[in-house]
Structure 1
């Protein structure tokens, strides 16, 4: 079986996970203490991923990435299917914590394996395809999950999601690729990672791994709020998220054959911060949807550039770089979702969003300034 087929299997698994997310949150909202359990649910997912991120990177560098992916998918499937038999909201929180761990192990090994599976010359093409598939699954998955959960039962979503995890593991069992031998000793690997992190580019990537989700969390928090003041708030909320996904989808079609470099990456980050800031200048209008379309396009460009640049790192440390990136990303979202409500109370929602986008812009400007002053003028950014 060709490895490219697995990307579509993974997309179906992502589709089922989006529906499962809607189902579980709906079940928690019907519990005795919905606010408490919802908070624990989101914290459980994030903390599970944060605790396991760097360990997942070490495992990816020292052991078989393919085997790690298979075990993670099977464990995720078992965890989801167990919710069919135990319905207590606290158990849902525990499973969310476990899924945060298993997903992190899978994602770190999967992202670190892409250069080996498909070749470094196809990184932009494959990462663009992943963004495109992810956008498609978001457009369809969330509404489908809501419909099934509303008119049937969220347990149907759990069965489908659990079977998709196990099906994904079965497909992986039938796909083989040549993994490099783990020739470096742990001490040598630590030294190699230290040398890699001394590169300004990789430190910048990991810094953005925190600052970008910190900035992105602001508008993710704000979109439901600005939609809620309208007469058909739920409809507007869904339309706004679909608009972002459509922007990501179309942009991924354009950039799949483009060259990825540091300059394009920085431009995409600056565009993202600019478009998000423009979204909240005025009240909800038709122009808001146009800007959100551009936000989605910028998000796609950021993701493709970010993952492609990380995947060009040395094979022996790639897993730990992705582990550190996952840790930075989860910390960024956690800090962002904690900061934006406080900033909203201290100033306003719009000002809070602009302040958080300015952090991303400052991060890019500082990197450009340091690069300009640390290289000969003929080689300057």
Structure 2
């Protein structure tokens, strides 16, 4: 491929998206550049503070539990208060709680603040995803979600290396650095991002729009089916950070070997996310989700046959390709199934599926490996991938394609005047 062709491909991948999207993208990148706590929490507690592995596991679990709780609360806030106020509140409170965690000494205080960090750091996700759906045209959403996912992985990859050097110098500096970058993220939102929540049509004679509450989401059978399938896929992908290092350690490989293998995941996402998204952008999402579920399940299942770093890296290549395809496609499906005035709640429930998986996956990996061995864990991922693929095939049968009229649905193309306070919130409870 010539340089000119590559430039044309990049230009087509990033063109046509509104300015507000790029400020949202920039805030995501800055936020992930400061991802210190999620990466080094276990090492900080065991190596720097001298706590046991079991206490470190408890703290990490509480951090994940905070994400489960905040997913639903933030989803409601996103719809009732607005996207922008929710993001500002989440990012400001994250900066405060992360900085506070670095100064905690008592085990109970560390555990309590870790729960708070988990709640605040996950609270902005429904708002970010809802705002992205608001401001990007339907036909561009898969590309937009892919670019955002690319920013997440690029930022995380850079932060993991930088934070490693910071941790060798001073862990407190890592906590304060993440707090500072999160504040920068909040400043970007405050200065550059207007509120995007669609207003209800209250004009005389307008068709009354049904109120969307959490109960509405939970009674939406097709959508909750997608959330359940998302949970299964999340269980599979999370094994890359919980099951894989344990299995490689039991097989005699070093932490450095695991680091080299898992590095392939981040590298491939950074290199392939944009070109693969251009290839899949307008293809049938049902087939893409079925294929990605099978690739994820059997990519991990192949780990049972790995005996060298090269083969482990090959399995990572397979399930990373599944991740590249699944993430933007599934996000596009979630938005497609979400009513305009209920996007926050719908996104909150979807985000919760990943948070719950982050709690269940370590327990699943530990139980299966201890009782039956790592090969049974990898066989289980193959089964989960097959179940998810069949589920996607069944749930998406009869789902109509987006029509030109749907693609013309209103999305704010031009920014409106920024306002810190909420716009008119719908009445009623959560």
Shorter-chain TM-score: what band? 0.7 to 0.9
CA shift for structure 1 position 355: 1.5
Is the contact between residue 73 and residue 166 of structure 1 (CA under 8 Å) also seen in structure 2? yes
The one of 315, 320, 325 equivalent to 1:291 is: 315
1:280 alignment partner, SS class: helix
Summarize deviations over 1:208-256 as a string: whole Å, max 9, x none.
Answer: 1211122223343232124435776122111111101122223312233
Cα drift, residue 180 of structure 1: 1.1
Q: Counterpart of 1:379?
A: none
Matches within 5 A, 1:74-223: 74-150=92-168, 152-175=169-192, 176-182=194-200, 188-190=211-213, 193=216, 197-198=220-221, 200=222, 202-223=223-244
Of 349, 364, 368, the residue aligned with 2:393 is: 368
Check 1:369–1:85 CA distance in 2 against 1; reply closer, same or farther (3 A cut): closer
Alpha carbons 2:236, 2:296 under 8 Å: kept: no
1:61 corresponds to which of 79, 85, 88: 79
1:305 alignment counterpart: 329
Distance in 1 (alpha carbons) for counterparts of 2:332 and 2:137: 12
Residue 271 of structure 1 corresponds to: 295
Q: How many residues align?
A: 371
Counterpart in the other structure of 1:28: 45
> Which residue of the other structure, out of 331, 350, 359, is the alignment partner of 2:375?
350
Provide the C-alpha distance between the structure 1 equivalents of 2:322 and 2:272, rounded to a whole number of angstroms.
8
Greater fraction helix: 1
Matches within 5 A, 1:8-47: 8-17=26-35, 19-29=36-46, 30-47=48-65
CA 322–190 in structure 1, closer or farther in 2 if over 3 Å, else same: same
TM-score, structure 2 normalization: 0.78
Residue 318 of structure 1: how far off its partner (Å): 1.6
Give the TM-score of the pair, scaled to structure 1. 0.88
Question: What is the RMSD computed on CA atoms of the aligned residues?
Answer: 2.8
Whole-angstrom distance in 1 between the partners of 2:89 and 2:138? 26
Measure the CA separation in 2 of the matches of 1:186 and 1:55. 22
Matched, 1:280 2:298: no
Q: Which consecutive unaligned segments of at least 5 residues does structure 2 have?
A: 1-18, 203-207, 401-430
CA contact (8 A) 2:289 2:392 kept: no
